[in-house]
Amino acid sequence: MTIFEGTFAQTDSLRFAIVVGRFNDLVTTRLLEACQDCLKRHGINPDPQGSQVDYAWVPGAFELPMVARRLAMTGRYDAVICLGAVIKGQTPHFEHVSSEVSKGIAAASFQTGVPVIFGVLTTDNMQQALERAGIKSNLGWEYAMSAIEMASLMRQMPNGADGNGFNNTLSASSISHHTLSAAHAEEHH
């Protein structure tokens, strides 16, 4: 049996995109700094003027999935890191935003085949968010580690083909064609 496992070596050819929410920027900028530090310490140049990491700033966490998906679809990145903070308030807004952001980020990854890292803090208050963004530890480092490991892992895996050499990725038009064909066949039985 083959074992696939990501590593943290040979990172000089890896490319990343980091999508950061401006809302709660006191928290997200700290996450970004730790993320950049981790990348740098693993041989990746986080300079926006360099060739390994691109950055996109969005208004808030809710906008992260759409931009992450768009970046992942370009095929230019080995992984996309989403950084945001959703802090609970007095309304159900927190639950709605948190749920949609997590579903959207997961969908972006599944739809594109590119690892999209969920680096969104969901906390009860600002104190908890700040603790996770640098006071006690900084999860931005962990999000970068996940991105490096997943990028390395995906490079080792077979390229989306099943055992017969067929690509498992279907385009929207081929999905529509298969759906229509199945519906047509069903009508005639």
Which residues have CB under 8 Å from 10's CB, separation 6+? 152
* Residue 189 is a catalytic residue: no
Specify whether the CB–CB gap between 161 and 167 falls below 8 A: yes
State the catalytic residue, choosing from 42, 93, 177, 184: 93
Q: In what order do the strands lie in the sheet with 116-123?
A: 53-58, 16-21, 79-87, 116-123
Task: State the Cα–Cα distance between residues 9 and 115, nearest whole angstrom.
Answer: 18
Task: State the Cα–Cα distance between residues 147 and 18, nearest whole angstrom.
Answer: 10
Between the alpha carbon of residue 115 and those of residues 9, 34, 93, the distances in Å are 18, 19, 27
H or E segment to which residue 141 belongs: helix 139-156
Q: Is 151 helix (H, G, I), strand (E, B) or coil?
A: helix
> What are the catalytic residues?
93
